[in-house]
Amino acid sequence: MGAGHDHGARARHSGARHRRSLWWAAVVLTAVMIVEAVAAGLTGSLALLSDAGHMFTDVLAIAMTLAAITAAGRAGRHSGRTFGLYRLEVLAALANAALLTLVAGYVLVQAARRFTDPPEVPGGWMLLVAAGGLVANLAAFRLLHAGARENIGVRGAYLEVLGDLLGSAGVIVAALVIWLTGWQYADPIVAVIVALMILPRTFALGRSAIRILVQAAPEHVDVGAVRERLASLPGVTDVHDLHVWTLTSGMDVASAHLRLEPAAELGTVLNVAREALHEDFAIDHATLQIEPAGVGGHCTPTGW
């Protein structure tokens, strides 16, 4: 009970910290997004338009992540949602990946069209606006960096900001080329490069979210090693129906059935098993069914 209470308190504390970081990042990015969108319309720059579009998905991503974290934090302990609403963070991350994929696809299509007849783009204005976007993205990047290691929803927003950071740098390069040489092809070329750099990160985020949603074992946990560790505990003769999955970022969960020797002490085995899962695999929430020797009604392994 105490460990569960501490875990809940840590989750609420980290949730409040993530909300503050996301909120300030959203404020910064929204202001610059509006400036870039207006500038893209006035200058006709596809690179600026792509950067503004990426910022829009950033703001939307942050809004969804904020909503998910807030909903998870407010989920009633005694409601019908016995695991709370933590999965909303994962759904938000998956939606972010889908949105960014669509934006990158749109930029690629528009860039292909512009290669045949690139419009005139004023490099000076483009450079000024892109520099402001770079500063804003650096600020948002800094705000979200710590939370990205702890929360998959924040990681989704963080990756999108990282993409925008690269995008702003690319727009600056394109603006300098156009300003100094007048070579207009720099605009669609940079837009394509930025889109192609973002897509692999987006796919990785989507893959991580899908793994959680299908309840696959965490990539950092060797299920075979978990089984061997539990089977090696004093008093345990068999381990079956072992399942390991991730509820949301930083919350790995396990369940297993442990069959005991006749002389094994149930409470001792249970405590040692929980300590082993915590110390060796960082699994703090485990549901273990103990099957004492000599007691009828042993369950049949499901084979799941």
Q: Are residues 168 and 273 in the same domain?
A: no
Residue 301's pLDDT is 58
Q: Are residues 77 and 176 in the same domain?
A: yes
What integer best gives the mean pLDDT of the chain? 82
Q: Which residue has the tokens 């990042």?
A: 25
Last-in-domain residue among 162, 182, 213:
213
Q: Which long-range contacts (CB under 8 A, 24 or more apart) does 137-143 make?
A: 137/29, 137/32, 137/161, 137/164, 137/165, 137/168, 138/165, 139/25, 139/28, 140/25, 140/28, 140/29, 140/58, 140/164, 141/165, 143/21, 143/22, 143/24, 143/25, 143/28
In a domain, 228, yes or no: yes
Q: Are residues 242 and 129 in the same domain?
A: no
Question: Are 195 and 163 in contact, with CB atoms under 8 Å apart?
Answer: no
**Number of domains present in the structure of the chain:** 2
The answer on pLDDT for 7 being more than 60 is no
Owning domain of residue 282: 223-291
Q: Are residues 106 and 158 in the same domain?
A: yes
* 149-175 tens-digit pLDDT: 767 767 777 777 777 787 788 889 999
Residue 261's pLDDT is 92
On the CB side of 261, how many CA atoms lie within 13 Å of its CA? 12
Report how far apart, in Å, the C-alpha atoms of 213 and of each of 71, 155, 167, 206, 295 are: 18, 16, 30, 10, 37
CATH number (domain holding residue 141)? 1.20.1510.10
In a domain, 301, yes or no: no
Cα separation of 293 and 137, whole Å?
Answer: 61
Q: Are residues 268 and 195 in the same domain?
A: no
* 245-291 tens-digit pLDDT: 998 777 899 999 999 998 889 899 999 999 999 999 999 899 999 98
CATH number (domain holding residue 246)? 3.30.70.1350
Last-in-domain residue among 165, 192, 213:
213
The answer on pLDDT for 77 being more than 50 is yes
Q: Are residues 227 and 199 in the same domain?
A: no
* 83-101 tens-digit pLDDT: 767 787 788 888 888 888 8
**Please, which pLDDT band fits residue 120 given cuts at 50, 70 and 90?**
confident
Last-in-domain residue among 193, 213, 233:
213
Greater model confidence, 8 or 180: 180
Question: SS3 for the chain, per residue?
Answer: CHHHHHHHHHHHHHHHHHHHHHHHHHHHHHHHHHHHHHHHHHHCCHHHHHHHHHHHHHHHHHHHHHHHHHHHHHCCCCCCCCCCCCHHHHHHHHHHHHHHHHHHHHHHHHHHHHCCCCCCCCHHHHHHHHHHHHHHHHHHHHHHHHHHCCCHHHHHHHHHHHHHHHHHHHHHHHHHHHHHHCCCCHHHHHHHHHHHHHHHHHHHHHHHHHHHHCCCCCCCCCHHHHHHHHHCCCCEEEEEEEEEEEEECCEEEEEEEEEECCCCCHHHHHHHHHHHHHHHHCCCEEEEEEECCCCCCCCCCCCC
Residue 46's pLDDT is 85
The answer on pLDDT for 133 being more than 80 is yes
Residue 226's pLDDT is 96
Q: Are residues 172 and 240 in the same domain?
A: no
In a domain, 91, yes or no: yes
